[in-house]
Amino acid sequence: MKPRRTHIKSRAGCHTCRQRRIRCDECRPQCLNCIRRGVPCDYDEAESSATAASRSAQVDGPPAQAQVLSADDVELLPSHLIPLLQRPVSELPGFTDEESFLVHHIHDMSQRLEHSDTKNVGFCTSVLPEFIRIAFLVHFVRDCICGISSFHLALLTKSSSMTYLSYKYRAKALQGLRETLALTSGPGDVDATLAASFMLSWQAPDSFEFCQTMKGVDLALKEMAERNYTSRLRDLWGVLIPESLVAASSSHSIVPLDAASVALQELRKHVEHNPELVRGVKELYNFVQNIRIAPPGRMPAEQIQALYPVRLWLPWIPKSSYLIDRKDPSVLLFCAHFHMVIVAIGGLLPVTVGAFAIPRRAECIMVINTILKQVLPEPAPSAGHSHTNNKRQESFRELMQAPLMFAKDFQARYSST
């Protein structure tokens, strides 16, 4: 008699998975099954703490990373990241083990960062769940997801096999995208083109490829506007401000960049405990300085190319990003300053406003400000003994003023649209 394969059934999945009697990965706020089917995902709140505790203990068959990450790779991981990669991975229909593992990794990362309390803190992470949904429908979008997933894992692990995978999937995705662009397209193809172009821009090895992929984003958005396409992905990009309007109000003045540099120098003094943030702030600062010295030309390609260095949001905070779901004030402030730089540059470069979703960046700054206010309560008037703590919180609140000013200024200028 054939031994029956046993597996531990989870009782704590989301409502939809329980109803459908399928295995749920229990990722919050959205599980992968619900993302794939494009349906809302919800959990019984009473069970949530028990679930979180049991989540890492569940095992259902051999974990797929066994074939993808070697033991040597895992050894290189910082210890706090190991549980992240040892989550059980369920097979996804029509996906190879390698693809399942990589899609699960990006899904898990995006769900951590888009946790219900820290939602919309970053634009790039807020579009990832929708990119994943499209990846179930369109093969080259799946290749893009696998590409950035292995790219991210290569950064975390310094693993050469992950670096190889990131090249492999990027090449496949580029080819698939080119083939699609050669054909006439419907709304689904425009969505896929937008998703793929945007993800490929994160991995772009040089400013030329970056420019090409961001132009793809721009073209897809324009095509949606022209043909009046609406989609969830299009909605995530937010209001599109006409280029002509931005051009009319852009001052070509370097003054905003001066303010941004000063703000970054201040921030640097307050993140010294975190070397990754120090490096990130330094790179943002150098980027702003370079633009101040040599502002990009007027041609659309030159304007887009100028933003090439900021494509690196993913490697800038690979480990610190996990501190976002703990609402670490210095990581939140770093994110606010990252958006601030894009908003500041966008005011000078009209062509970048749509493709970089600059109105959404301004909204992200507002969201971060709201979270910071919760994390850093107003100081009690006579709290004598916690003086140093108060002072630290006070400086965090002050640091938020610059990004807030940029966001408010941007919103005030285009509020009539």
Given the rule CB under 5 A, which residues bind Zn ion?
A: 13-14, 16-17, 24, 31, 33-34, 41
- When the beta carbons of 158 and 232 are compared against Zn ion, the nearer one is 232
343 in Cβ contact with 407 (< 8 Å)? yes
Residues in the chain: 417
Cβ–Cβ contacts within 10 Å for residue 6, how many? 7
Residue 43 C-beta: closest distance to Zn ion, Å: 8
> What are the tokens at 389?
């703590």
Residue 59 C-beta: closest distance to Zn ion, Å: 18
- When the beta carbons of 27 and 376 are compared against Zn ion, the nearer one is 27
Cα gap 219→400, rounded to integer Å: 34
- When the beta carbons of 25 and 191 are compared against Zn ion, the nearer one is 25
Residue 122 C-beta: closest distance to Zn ion, Å: 22
- When the beta carbons of 10 and 118 are compared against Zn ion, the nearer one is 10
Torsion angle of the four alpha carbons 204, 206, 208, 210, in this order, in degrees rounded to the nearest 10: 30
- When the beta carbons of 52 and 82 are compared against Zn ion, the nearer one is 52
User: Residue 32: which of 120, 147, 176, 131 has the closest Cα?
Assistant: 131
172 in Cβ contact with 143 (< 8 Å)? yes
Residue 51 C-beta: closest distance to Zn ion, Å: 11
Residue 26 C-beta: closest distance to Zn ion, Å: 7
Q: 85: helix, coil or strand?
A: helix
Cα gap 63→408, rounded to integer Å: 47
Residue 108 C-beta: closest distance to Zn ion, Å: 14
* Integer angstrom CA distances of residue 137 from 84, 95, 132, 220, 406: 26, 12, 9, 18, 38
Residue 27 C-beta: closest distance to Zn ion, Å: 8
- When the beta carbons of 12 and 144 are compared against Zn ion, the nearer one is 12
- When the beta carbons of 51 and 352 are compared against Zn ion, the nearer one is 51
284 in Cβ contact with 340 (< 8 Å)? no
